[in-house]
Structure 1
Amino acid sequence: MTLFGMPIETIYLILLIVSGSLTILYLFFGDVLEGLGEATGFLSPILILAFITFFSAGGYILELLTSLNSFLIMAIAAITAFLLDIILNVFVLVPMSSAEQSLSYTEKSLEGRIGKVIISIPEKGFGEVVIESYSGMISKPAASFEDMEIPEGSEVLVIEVKDGVLHVMPYKKNFT
């Protein structure tokens, strides 16, 4: 079958190359178009590009390997692409969108947290404090907020963070 004066296989191949390239570009620069996915509802750009990629790949392969009618091949490729798109959305995109954004932390988020001194903090010097986090243990240099010695093994409260150094004071569970 020919379409626009070209064999249908060539059209499938061009569609596959263009949609595959656009998908890769969207993966790298997708943050620029992030609002577009919100405006269109369930039809995100990645789903549309994935549908075109699946459709063109299926059509190209079926045209090369079978002697079925081109309209039947188009229908089979469209149904298969639709099913693969649903699977992609349900099992990959929806779980990723509800996942935690990041396991990283900011220095500001450490303020108010409780840590444990692993290297004692001298009066006007630096020691080291470890804080438990979702992503593991965070070890940071620390100084005493009130310029007092804090022994190793003490629990401390992070008051502020300046230039990557935690300024801490001894933590007492009951402030009475």
Structure 2
Amino acid sequence: MESIYWGCLIGGAIFAVVSLVLGDLIDGLLDGAFELPGVDFFKPVVLAGSITAFGGAGIMLTRYSSLSAMTGLILSLLIGIAAAVLVFFAYIKPMRNSDVSIGFSMKELSGKIGEITIPVPEKGFGEVMIRFASGSTIQTASSFEHRPIAAGARVVIIDVVDGVLRVSEWEDDVLKDV
């Protein structure tokens, strides 16, 4: 039984070192081969951590305790499962929640407020700058109401047609009447 524990410990340690050194390459080659859709708990790093902890606990319990082989096996399995839970909730889940993307979809821009940087003529195109928490973007704009809009004017994005933002001038008076 001890040889199985050693195999799990050494295999898990080798996987950890290889994934540290060649992590991006392995991630690209495996590309989710060990992941189940909708189940984040079975990620390779969680499984490897669990197997390594199982092997290490098995060795320690076999050598330094007077427990029977079956009791040691069950306790090692429980320690491996506890390690998997710890790795998942202490590493995987926080890292997944920390992903910040500066990308956006053009369809998400409807309803956002922007500022005209290049005047928008009645029938033609100008540019509008939209600010995000991660920065700002400048996009091509046309007038929704077919009225000219001067540079510096605040506008609301009504919709997006063929990659062009259709905007209408933002009137502050609307809020004062409410």
Q: TM-score, normalised by structure 2?
A: 0.62
The 1:51/1:138 distance shift into structure 2, 3 A limit, reads: same
Aligned length: 158
The 1:97/1:10 distance shift into structure 2, 3 A limit, reads: closer
Asked if 1:35 is matched to 2:38, the reply is yes
Q: CA deviation at 1:143?
A: 1.1
Q: Deviations over 1:120-152 (max 9, x none)?
A: 112222111111113221211111112221111
Taking only the aligned residue pairs, the percentage that are identical comes to 29
Asked if 1:71 is matched to 2:74, the reply is no
Give the conservation status (yes or no) of the 8 Å contact 2:155–2:168. yes
Partner in structure 2 of residue 45 of structure 1: 42
- Give the alignment's Cα RMSD to 1 decimal: 4.2
Q: Deviations over 1:79-127 (max 9, x none)?
A: 9967765653343223234446744322111111110011111222211
CA–CA separation in structure 1 for the residues paired with 2:151 and 2:35: 48
The unaligned stretches of length 5 or more in structure 1 are: 38-43
The unaligned stretches of length 5 or more in structure 2 are: 66-71
The one-letter code of the counterpart of 2:63 is: F
Partner in structure 2 of residue 41 of structure 1: none
The 1:172/1:71 distance shift into structure 2, 3 A limit, reads: same
Q: CA deviation at 1:173?
A: 2.1
The one-letter code of the counterpart of 1:91 is: A
The 1:107/1:89 distance shift into structure 2, 3 A limit, reads: same
